[in-house]
Structure formats: C-alpha cells, structure tokens
Amino acid sequence: MDFPNEQIEELKKIYPGVQVAEEGGNTFFLLPKLELPNGCNPSKLDALFCPTRYNGYPSRLYFEQKFSGAPARNWNGNSRILDRSWYAISWTINQDQRLVQMIRSHLDAFRI
C-alpha cells in the first residue's frame, strides 16, 4: 500500500532508522530501538508497525519481546513477520490519523 511521502518523511524524522518492508501484500515499518513510555522495562525495543488491517486488527504495533512496567495488557499477538518473531497486545486505535499519530496511539496502551 502506498502512503503519502510527507508522512513517511515525518516518520523518518521522529524515528531515526525507520525501514519500510513489504510482506504478503502488507506494508510494515521497522522502528529500531523505539522508545517506550516511562516505566516500561526495557525502555527501548525494536518495533514493527503495520498501519493497515492485519491479523484481525485495523492496525498493529509489534515488539521484539514482551515487556514489563506498563499496565497489564493482553499479549495475544505472536507472529512471524519478515523472518523475525514479534509480539503484540490486543489494542485498537482510531485509524483516521497520520502514521506518526497512529504509532503514538498504540504506545498509549503502555502509559501509566
């Protein structure tokens, strides 16, 4: 899926090292060492963002591992994507947002 260049450039400014990849007709954004909300342990993890419908959710933010220090969440996503294992929680956001806003909305699930 094509996304506006200005939104991809915005992602690159806010999340240095972001990479775009396609698999199975889906676009994914790899966010290396994404900073997690205060209190999360560890404080940074690689994350994988899919802004479109995938695995039954309108969008998903996956993490390289489950983590602690955030409100208890239902870790129900365990997927193999782009030759790596990823974990996600059950969380739905408003899809009518820019890519950066969508990532922040997903991260809101982990704010205390």
Strand order in the sheet with 75-81: 19-23, 26-35, 44-50, 60-63, 84-89, 75-81
Give 5-44 pLDDT, tens digit per residue: 999 999 999 999 999 999 999 999 999 999 999 999 999 9
Give the pLDDT confidence score for residue 1 in this predicted structure.
62
Q: What is the pTM of this model?
A: 0.94
Query: Is 59 in contact with 107 (CB distance < 8 Å)?
Result: no
Amino acid at the residue 53: R
